[in-house]
Chains A and B, each alone.
Chain A
Amino acid sequence: MATFDASTMIAAPGYSAAQVNDPRTRVPLVLGDNNFTTVTDKVTGLALRPAPIGWYIAFSVALTLLSLLLVTLVYLLTTGVGVWGNNNTISWGFPIINFVFWVGIGHAGTLISAILFLLRQNWRTGINRFAEAMTIFAVICAGLFPAVHVGRIWLVLWLAPIPTTQAVWPQARSPLLWDLFAIGTYATVSLLFWYMGMIPDLATLRDRAKNRLPQMLYGFFAMGWTGSNRHWLRFERAYLLLAALATPLVLSVHSVVSFDFATSLIPGWHSTIFPPYFVAGAVFGGFAMVLTLAIPARHWFGLQDLITHRHIENMSKIMLGTGLIVAYAYSVEFFMAWYSGHHYEQFVFMNRPLGPYWWAFFVMVFCNIVAPQFLWIRKVRGNVWLVFVVAIFVNIGMWFERFVIVVTSLHRDYLPSSWAMFQPTWVDLGMLLGSFGLFFTLFLLFCRFLPMVAMAEVKTVMPQAHGESTTHRRDYQPDPDTPKRLRRGHWWT
Chain B
Amino acid sequence: MSPVNNNPTDSQRHDARYWRSIDALVSTPEFIERMRQEFPDANPRELTQLGRRQFTKLMAASLALAGVTLSGCRRWPEQQIRPQSSTTEGFLPGVAEHFATQFELGGVATGILAKSVDGRPVKIEGNGLHPFSQGAASVFAQASILELYDPDRTRGYTWRSDATAGNGDPTDSSASGETGRVVSRESFESVMSSNFAALAKTKGRGLHVLAQSNSSPTFAQLRQKFQTAFPESRWHVYQSLDRDAEFAGSRVAFGKVVRSQYQLQNARTIVCLDADLLGMHPGNLRWSRDWAAGRDPNSGVYSRLWIFEAGYSVTGAAADVRQTLLPTAMPGLVRAIAGGLGLHSETSSLESSLQPIVDQVVAELKSSGSHSLLVAGPSQTPEVHAWVHAIHQHLGSAGTTVSYCDEPQVEKKSCVDAFAELSGALRGGAVDTLLILDGNPVYDCPADLRLELTGSPNRRVTSIHLGLYENETAQQCTWHAPIAHFLESWGDGRAWDGTYGVQQPLIHPLFDGISAIELLSLATGQAVKDGLELVRTTAREQFRMTDDRAWQTLLHDGALPDSQFAAVTTSSATLPTIDQDGRQAGSLSHDGFEVCFVGDYSTWDGRFSNNGWLQELPDPLTKLTWDNAALISKQDADRLQLSNGDGISVRLGDGAWLPEIPVLIQPGQTPGAISLSLGYGRQTGHISSGVGIDIGVLRTSKNRYFVRGAAVTKTGKWTELACTQEHHLMDAVGEWGMRVRVGERDKPGTLVRETTLQKHRQDPHAVHASFHSPKPAPMFDAPDQFNTPSAWGMSIDLNKCTGCNGCVIACQSENNVPIVGKVNVLKNREMHWLRIDRYFKGEVDSPDVVHVPVACAQCESAPCEQVCPVAATVHDTEGLNAMVYNRCVGTRYCANNCPYKVRRFNYFDYHASNPRAPAQPWLGIPDEQTAKIVPELVQMGFNPEVSVRMRGVMEKCTYCVQRISNARIQARNEYAEGKRPGPDLADGEVVTACQQACPTQAIQFGNLNDANTEVSRSHHDNRAYAMLEELNIKPRTRYLARIRNGAGGTGSGNERSDNHGHI
User: Which residues of A line the B interface, CB within 8 A?
Assistant: 75, 78-83, 85-92, 149-159, 164-166, 168-171, 173-177, 180, 260, 263-266, 343, 347, 350-351, 354-356, 410, 412-421, 423
Q: How far is the CB of A260 from chain B (nearest CB, A)?
A: 8
A166 to B70, CA, bound (A): 11
Q: How far is the CB of A174 from chain B (nearest CB, A)?
A: 4
Q: How far is the CB of A165 from chain B (nearest CB, A)?
A: 5
Beyond A92-B892, A266-B896, A421-B727, is A82–B824 a contact (Cβ under 8 Å)?
Answer: yes
Q: How far is the CB of A128 from chain B (nearest CB, A)?
A: 34
- 6 other A-B residue contacts (CB within 8 Å) besides A157-B70, A168-B870: A80-B906, A80-B919, A83-B919, A152-B953, A174-B868, A356-B734
Contact of B906 among A90, A151, A413 (CB under 8 A): A151
The interface centre, meaning the residue of A79, A263, A417 with most chain B CB atoms within 10 A of its CB, is A417
Residues of A within 8 A of B852 (CB): 417
Contact of B869 among A81, A91, A171, A347 (CB under 8 A): A171
B772 at the interface (CB under 8 A from A): no
Summed over the interface, the residue pairs from A and B with CB atoms below 8 Å come to a total of 205
Task: Report whether B741 and A416 are in contact in the complex, using a CB–CB cutoff of 8 Å.
Answer: yes
Query: Nearest B residue to A356 by beta-carbon distance?
Result: B731
B702 at the interface (CB under 8 A from A): no
Residues of A within 8 A of B865 (CB): 171
Task: Report whether A417 and B892 are in contact in the complex, using a CB–CB cutoff of 8 Å.
Answer: no
User: Which residues of B line the A interface, CB within 8 A?
Assistant: 69-71, 725-728, 731-734, 736-738, 740-742, 750-751, 824, 827-830, 835, 837-839, 852, 854, 863, 865-871, 887-893, 895-897, 899-901, 903-909, 919-923, 926, 950-954, 1028, 1031, 1033
Query: Nearest B residue to A171 by beta-carbon distance?
Result: B871
Residues of A within 8 A of B923 (CB): 78
Nearest first, the 9 closest Cβ-Cβ pairs linking A and B are A151-B890, A151-B952, A82-B907, A417-B837, A78-B921, A91-B892, A418-B901, A152-B952, A171-B871
Residues of B within 8 A of A78 (CB): 921-923
A304 to B906, CA, bound (A): 54
A149 to B895, CA, bound (A): 14
A264 to B951, CA, bound (A): 25
Task: Report whether B919 and A159 are in contact in the complex, using a CB–CB cutoff of 8 Å.
Answer: no
A82 to B820, CA, bound (A): 11
Task: Report whether A86 and B952 are in contact in the complex, using a CB–CB cutoff of 8 Å.
Answer: no
The interface centre, meaning the residue of B728, B742, B828 with most chain A CB atoms within 10 A of its CB, is B828
A263 to B864, CA, bound (A): 11
Q: How far is the CB of B667 from chain A (nearest CB, A)?
A: 14
Query: Nearest A residue to B901 by beta-carbon distance?
Result: A418
Residues of B within 8 A of A159 (CB): 869-870, 889
Beyond A356-B728, A419-B726, is A176–B867 a contact (Cβ under 8 Å)?
Answer: yes
Residues of B within 8 A of A156 (CB): 889
The interface centre, meaning the residue of B731, B740, B838, B895 with most chain A CB atoms within 10 A of its CB, is B895
Beyond A78-B921, A86-B892, A417-B839, is A355–B733 a contact (Cβ under 8 Å)?
Answer: yes
Task: Report whether A414 and B892 are in contact in the complex, using a CB–CB cutoff of 8 Å.
Answer: no
Task: Report whether B734 and A416 are in contact in the complex, using a CB–CB cutoff of 8 Å.
Answer: yes
Contact of A88 among B733, B738, B891, B901 (CB under 8 A): B901
Task: Report whether A79 and B952 are in contact in the complex, using a CB–CB cutoff of 8 Å.
Answer: no
Task: Report whether B905 and A88 are in contact in the complex, using a CB–CB cutoff of 8 Å.
Answer: yes
Task: Report whether A417 and B952 are in contact in the complex, using a CB–CB cutoff of 8 Å.
Answer: no
Task: Report whether B869 and A176 are in contact in the complex, using a CB–CB cutoff of 8 Å.
Answer: yes
17 contacts between A and B (CB under 8 A): A88-B903, A88-B905, A91-B896, A92-B896, A150-B891, A155-B889, A158-B887, A158-B889, A173-B867, A180-B869, A350-B733, A354-B733, A356-B734, A413-B901, A414-B741, A416-B839, A417-B854
Task: Report whether B919 and A82 are in contact in the complex, using a CB–CB cutoff of 8 Å.
Answer: yes
Residues of A within 8 A of B1033 (CB): 265
Task: Report whether B890 and A152 are in contact in the complex, using a CB–CB cutoff of 8 Å.
Answer: yes
- The secondary-structure label for the interface of chain B is loop
A180 to B868, CA, bound (A): 13
Q: How far is the CB of B155 from chain A (nearest CB, A)?
A: 31
Q: How far is the CB of B344 from chain A (nearest CB, A)?
A: 47
Q: How far is the CB of B782 from chain A (nearest CB, A)?
A: 15
The interface centre, meaning the residue of A87, A173, A410 with most chain B CB atoms within 10 A of its CB, is A87
A87 to B904, CA, bound (A): 9
Residues of B within 8 A of A80 (CB): 906-909, 919, 951-952
Q: How far is the CB of B355 from chain A (nearest CB, A)?
A: 37
Task: Report whether A171 and B870 are in contact in the complex, using a CB–CB cutoff of 8 Å.
Answer: yes
A180 to B891, CA, bound (A): 13
A275 to B866, CA, bound (A): 19
Residues of A within 8 A of B736 (CB): 347, 350
Beyond A91-B905, A154-B926, is A417–B954 a contact (Cβ under 8 Å)?
Answer: no
Residues of A within 8 A of B904 (CB): 88
Query: Nearest B residue to A152 by beta-carbon distance?
Result: B952
Query: Nearest A residue to B870 by beta-carbon distance?
Result: A158
Query: Nearest B residue to A75 by beta-carbon distance?
Result: B921
Task: Report whether A170 and B900 are in contact in the complex, using a CB–CB cutoff of 8 Å.
Answer: no
Task: Report whether A164 and B728 are in contact in the complex, using a CB–CB cutoff of 8 Å.
Answer: no
A158 to B871, CA, bound (A): 10
A137 to B1029, CA, bound (A): 45
Query: Nearest B residue to A177 by beta-carbon distance?
Result: B869
A423 to B996, CA, bound (A): 38
Residues of B within 8 A of A81 (CB): 890, 907, 951-952
Q: How far is the CB of B61 from chain A (nearest CB, A)?
A: 16
Residues of A within 8 A of B909 (CB): 80
Task: Report whether B728 and A421 are in contact in the complex, using a CB–CB cutoff of 8 Å.
Answer: yes
Task: Report whether A343 and B740 are in contact in the complex, using a CB–CB cutoff of 8 Å.
Answer: yes
Contact of A87 among B725, B731, B751, B829 (CB under 8 A): B829
Residues of B within 8 A of A85 (CB): 827
Residues of A within 8 A of B1031 (CB): 265
Task: Report whether A151 and B905 are in contact in the complex, using a CB–CB cutoff of 8 Å.
Answer: yes
Beyond A80-B908, A82-B907, A89-B828, is A414–B867 a contact (Cβ under 8 Å)?
Answer: no
Task: Report whether B734 and A265 are in contact in the complex, using a CB–CB cutoff of 8 Å.
Answer: no
A170 to B889, CA, bound (A): 12
A421 to B742, CA, bound (A): 20
Task: Report whether A263 and B737 are in contact in the complex, using a CB–CB cutoff of 8 Å.
Answer: no
A220 to B430, CA, bound (A): 99
Residues of B within 8 A of A164 (CB): 69-71
Q: How far is the CB of B635 from chain A (nearest CB, A)?
A: 24
Residues of B within 8 A of A90 (CB): 828
Query: Nearest B residue to A81 by beta-carbon distance?
Result: B907
Contact of A420 among B751, B828, B896, B952 (CB under 8 A): B828
Task: Report whether A174 and B919 are in contact in the complex, using a CB–CB cutoff of 8 Å.
Answer: no
Residues of B within 8 A of A347 (CB): 733, 736-737, 740
A416 to B736, CA, bound (A): 11
A170 to B870, CA, bound (A): 5
A180 to B784, CA, bound (A): 29
Residues of B within 8 A of A171 (CB): 865, 868-871
Task: Report whether A79 and B889 are in contact in the complex, using a CB–CB cutoff of 8 Å.
Answer: no
Task: Report whether A410 and B953 are in contact in the complex, using a CB–CB cutoff of 8 Å.
Answer: no
Task: Report whether A354 and B732 are in contact in the complex, using a CB–CB cutoff of 8 Å.
Answer: yes
A414 to B859, CA, bound (A): 15
Beyond A88-B829, A174-B893, is A413–B866 a contact (Cβ under 8 Å)?
Answer: no
Residues of B within 8 A of A415 (CB): 741, 751, 837, 854, 899-901
Task: Report whether B728 and A355 are in contact in the complex, using a CB–CB cutoff of 8 Å.
Answer: no
Q: How far is the CB of B91 from chain A (nearest CB, A)?
A: 35
Q: How far is the CB of B406 from chain A (nearest CB, A)?
A: 46
Query: Nearest A residue to B927 by beta-carbon distance?
Result: A152
Query: Nearest B residue to A173 by beta-carbon distance?
Result: B866
Beyond A82-B824, A164-B69, is A419–B830 a contact (Cβ under 8 Å)?
Answer: no
Residues of A within 8 A of B839 (CB): 416-417
Task: Report whether A417 and B838 are in contact in the complex, using a CB–CB cutoff of 8 Å.
Answer: yes
Q: How far is the CB of A240 from chain B (nearest CB, A)?
A: 35
Beyond A171-B869, A355-B733, A413-B899, is A79–B887 a contact (Cβ under 8 Å)?
Answer: no
Beyond A347-B736, A413-B899, is A79–B827 a contact (Cβ under 8 Å)?
Answer: no
A410 to B897, CA, bound (A): 9
A91 to B901, CA, bound (A): 10
Residues of A within 8 A of B751 (CB): 414-416
Residues of A within 8 A of B871 (CB): 168-171
Query: Nearest A residue to B830 by beta-carbon distance?
Result: A88
